[in-house]
Chain A
């Protein structure tokens, strides 16, 4: 009988060794708190809930401590999470998300006023500003490139590039990119107000003209060919973006476009959010590098906003009265679609209740998506 009780106690003790309580560290607790904070921000404050809920919950999933060797964790070969994470590691999910983004993006604002495209290029300064800072802080060139892309304010692009250049930092980079995208309404307005004069904020822009279907179809095809001929390494992202847009604009593939911008992008968003969140295991995530990445990410958003707004101000020097652009749309050059365009609208309305900048800001906003994908291609071709 005594032997039997010993057997029971021994196995209970053994079982306890497998529980998360026995394997938990302070790091895991910190990460769980971060995950809960993400979920809180998403539900209570409605900051990018589509992204922060999957990522926040993924952080919880990834930080339930377990005894290694049982094919549980995201980094353990053969585990279910590891299979799902394959799409992140191999850069499969980001192009699929770009397909959906293409299918839901209307490039009319850009086509009707093509000079807005250039704002999307200027705002990419954030990427290279962060790259320079990261190099100065002692990050390796590939790490600096991957960190820099946070400034593009484009989650899928950040994941795509970091999976190629610095897979070890991908979790931190993705979390930083999505966090700052959610915080665009907090980060950008002070920079916009600081760089503009009251008179500039009141500039009214010409209403965009109606764009024909033919123009939109040509844009999807010509846009893909031109950008990828210049930067072929951006092909997975740009190819899918413009392909999705062609599905939408052709008008004859409605079902495909609906799938791309509906169920498919939703499924991929769930998978990418959950697995990126789960990849932030305390053991790999809580390092000084991660803190550095977060600091650089914030700086990159500020530099990107600076680049966009200042570019509009410079261009305005050469434009005739009546054709000038409102510098408050400069911030929309970062590709956080449509949040940064909404920021332009909200800040613009603060100064003139009848000056709606949303349509104008959507131009640089979608140009920013193209610009950040091109920038990612350049970094990939130089550093990979």
Chain B
């Protein structure tokens, strides 16, 4: 038995090792971060907190939980992945779920943690590296021709494609077009709910039908097993079992159970209102005796 447990535990350990080796250590799901939009030439676009027009890089947290970008690296040179270290221990480096963060590429790192130590003049690549300084999270090739104040980014959050965007949206979703909700889109094609009813009933039936098929077959298996287990029983035992089965069918059991349940419930309700006071038969107790509470007379 112990040997089996050992094998089981070692199996789990191997499995964990395999899983761990496929998932590279990350700051905090930093792998979900994406470079989302960049502006190389900022003439009259957004100003930074110093009122300056500088190039910027927007990072998007595609995860459904908050991710701390602190500890990761931003660079414009793939041969130097640790060029700008984003400080850790700062609450402002936490990016909420599906939200954005803007870094100013102005080569003025003394202006704050969101100001990088490089600018985008002549830069060919922007890359985001994980806290280990080796694992590439995301990178973007900067196009050669950049128009002033026109940003380059993903048209939608989940897009892999990069295009020049009609409207710059630092710290916001690049896709600003009006969207229909899932429900509105559904009802557009199914205004009376007939389609929903058909699909949903089909799915509910399928889910429960699968359970039905499995349990029907499993039931057969267990019945067969119990029958084969009962085979060695003598004919007398069989007869006795048959009799007891006839005497106590499932319905009878159910009826007895329900009667007991109802009886106990009623009993409980009445009991609550009954107060019974009985005289205690034993009157004397040393605890209430005055003799023991008096001091003994001095001799």
Contact B214 A230 (CB under 8 A): no
Give the number of A-B contacts (CB < 8 Å): 138
Cα distance A74–B127 when bound, in Å? 48
Cα distance A131–B212 when bound, in Å? 27
Contact B203 A230 (CB under 8 A): yes
A interface residue count range (under 10 / 10 to 19 / 20 to 34 / 35 or more): 35 or more
- Given A207-B249, A356-B255, A382-B183: A114 and B194 within 8 A (CB)? no
A212 contacts the other chain (CB 8 A) = yes
From B183, B196, B204, B210, name the one whose CB has the most chain A CB atoms within 10 angstroms.
B204
- Given A135-B191, A379-B200: A140 and B211 within 8 A (CB)? no
Contact A125 B192 (CB under 8 A): no
Report the stretch among B52-60, B215-223, B275-283 that lies at the interface: B215-223
> Smallest Cβ distance from A105 to chain B, in angstroms?
15
> Smallest Cβ distance from B262 to chain A, in angstroms?
11
Contact A118 B183 (CB under 8 A): no
Cα distance A212–B219 when bound, in Å? 10
- Given A145-B183, A215-B219, A358-B258: A132 and B197 within 8 A (CB)? yes
Query: Which residues of B are found within 8 Å of A207, using beta-carbon distances?
Result: 249-251
- Given A121-B209, A374-B208, A375-B200: A142 and B255 within 8 A (CB)? no
A290 contacts the other chain (CB 8 A) = no
B interface residue count range (under 10 / 10 to 19 / 20 to 34 / 35 or more): 35 or more
Query: Which residues of A are found within 8 Å of B11, using beta-carbon distances?
Result: none
Residue of A nearest to B210 (CB): A226
From A117, A136, A222, A231, name the one whose CB has the most chain B CB atoms within 10 angstroms.
A117
B148 contacts the other chain (CB 8 A) = no
Contact B219 A112 (CB under 8 A): yes
With beta carbons under 8 angstroms apart, the residue of A124, A209, A379 that contacts B223 is A209
- Chain B contact residues, majority secondary structure: helix
Contact B182 A384 (CB under 8 A): yes
Cα distance A124–B206 when bound, in Å? 13
Contact B218 A218 (CB under 8 A): yes
> Smallest Cβ distance from A365 to chain B, in angstroms?
13
- Chain A contact residues, majority secondary structure: helix
Contact B203 A378 (CB under 8 A): yes
With beta carbons under 8 angstroms apart, the residue of A112, A208, A230, A382 that contacts B206 is A230
- Given A222-B214, A383-B182: A128 and B196 within 8 A (CB)? yes
> Smallest Cβ distance from B113 to chain A, in angstroms?
31
B residues apposed to A, CB below 8 Å: 181-184, 186-187, 191-194, 196-197, 199-201, 203-212, 214-216, 218-219, 222-223, 226, 249-255, 258
A residues apposed to B, CB below 8 Å: 110-112, 114-115, 117-118, 120-122, 124-125, 127-129, 131-132, 135-136, 140-142, 144-145, 165, 207-209, 211-212, 214-215, 218-219, 222-223, 226-227, 230-231, 345, 354-356, 358-359, 367, 370-371, 374-375, 378-379, 382-384
Closest 10 A/B residue pairs (Cβ): A207-B250, A141-B183, A132-B193, A128-B197, A114-B215, A383-B183, A356-B251, A121-B208, A359-B254, A141-B187
